[in-house]
Amino acid sequence: MDMKKSSKKALNSIIFAIPIITGVIILIGLFNALFPKRYLMLVFKHNNFTDPIIGALMGSLFAGNPINSYIIGGELLKQGVGLVAVTAFLVSWITVGFVSLPGEIMFLGKKFAILRNVLAFLFSIIIAVVVVYLVNLL
């Protein structure tokens, strides 16, 4: 590949990434404004039983794409939310789609869509507990 073609590809990649990076920066600012530390500390009590459930509920309701979930997860950790809650949030953010459930029902059927979302929600809690347990072993 010649230099001109490589430079053009690199420039196109940068141009493509600018809106994504801008969106992430705006999302971080919005998240910090909407969920101040004192609010998060009222919701998350560093309880290994309730925190993953609350994290999974929040992730299920605010479903989105993986890039944004990692940014929000990092912000939650910075604000003192426990790792088990953040892990449940991340897993459910990606796997559970209560917001998109009507569309999923239309394309995949009601029984399958509901069962898939319920199982994904439960497994997001289980996965969070197991991951944090394994991390603590290290």
Separation CA 130–CA 99 (nearest Å): 27
Which of 17 and 80 is assigned the larger pLDDT?
80
Average pLDDT, the chain: 84
Domain spans, the chain: 1-34, 36-137
Separation CA 97–CA 113 (nearest Å): 9
The amino acid at residue 85 is: A
Separation CA 43–CA 54 (nearest Å): 8
Question: Model confidence over 35-70: pLDDT tens digits?
Answer: 666 777 778 888 888 999 999 998 888 767 777 778
Residue range 95-103: mean pLDDT, rounded: 82
Which of 116 and 34 is assigned the larger pLDDT?
116
Question: What is the model's pLDDT at position 127?
Answer: 96
Separation CA 27–CA 14 (nearest Å): 20
Question: What is the model's pLDDT at position 67?
Answer: 75
